[in-house]
C-alpha cells in the first residue's frame, strides 16, 4: 500500500512565492533603469493617476531613517537581513495559508530591496500614484508586496481574534 504523495508545505510554497516576488521586483527595476532609462526622463505620465518617477530611497519605508554613507547602508542591510531571518522562521511555522502568503510577500519584498541596497547603494522607487492633488509616496513592487503582506497579517490577526472571541463567548 502506498501513501499519498506529500504536498509542498506552506514553507516551500512561501519560498517559491517570495522568489517570484523578488524576480518581478528586480525585472521591473531592470526595465525602468536599464531599458526605459527613467532617471534621464524625469516624470513620465502613464495614466492620469499614475506616473513613473525615479526616486532613490536611502532609508526604510517612505525614506524614514535615511542612511547617507556606507555605514548606514550596511547597517540597514544587516537589519533587514535579520528581519528576513525572523520572517523565514515564522513562515516555516505558519499553519494558515493566509499567514504564509502574507509572510511570503513580506520576505520577497524585503529581499528585493536588500538586493537594491547591495547592488545600487539605495532602493530604486519609481511608481507614483496620485489623485485630486494628493500624491502617495513613490514606491516599487517590493514595497507594495511588503505593504500588502503586512495588511494581510493584520487582517489575519483581526479575523483569528474574532474567531477566538466567538469561540469563548
Catalytic residues: 125, 143
Cα-trace Rg, the chain: 19
Beta bridge partners of 51: 45, 128
| SS3 state of residue 136 | coil
Cα–Cα distance for residue pair 10/166, rounded to 1 Å: 27
Reported as type and span, the H/E element at residue 53 is strand 50-57
Beta bridge partners of 129: 50
Amino acid at each position: 500500500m502506498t501513501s499519498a504523495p506529500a504536498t509542498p508545505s506552506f514553507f516551500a510554497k512561501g519560498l517559491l512565492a517570495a522568489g517570484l516576488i523578488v524576480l518581478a521586483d528586480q525585472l521591473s527595476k531592470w526595465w525602468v533603469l536599464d531599458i526605459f532609462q527613467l532617471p534621464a526622463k524625469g516624470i513620465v505620465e502613464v495614466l492620469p493617476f499614475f506616473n513613473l518617477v525615479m526616486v532613490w530611497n536611502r532609508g526604510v519605508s517612505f525614506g524614514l531613517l535615511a542612511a547617507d554613507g556606507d555605514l548606514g547602508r550596511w547597517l540597514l542591510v544587516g537589519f533587514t537581513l535579520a528581519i528576513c531571518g525572523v520572517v523565514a522562521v515564522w513562515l516555516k511555522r505558519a499553519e494558515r495559508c493566509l499567514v504564509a502568503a502574507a509572510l511570503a510577500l513580506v520576505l520577497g519584498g524585503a529581499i528585493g530591496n536588500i538586493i537594491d541596497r547591495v547592488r545600487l547603494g539605495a532602493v530604486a522607487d519609481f511608481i507614483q500614484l496620485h489623485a485630486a492633488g494628493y500624491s502617495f509616496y513613490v514606491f516599487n513592487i517590493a514595497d507594495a508586496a511588503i505593504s500588502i503582506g503586512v495588511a494581510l497579517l493584520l487582517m489575519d490577526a483581526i479575523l483569528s481574534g474574532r474567531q477566538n472571541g466567538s469561540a469563548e463567548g
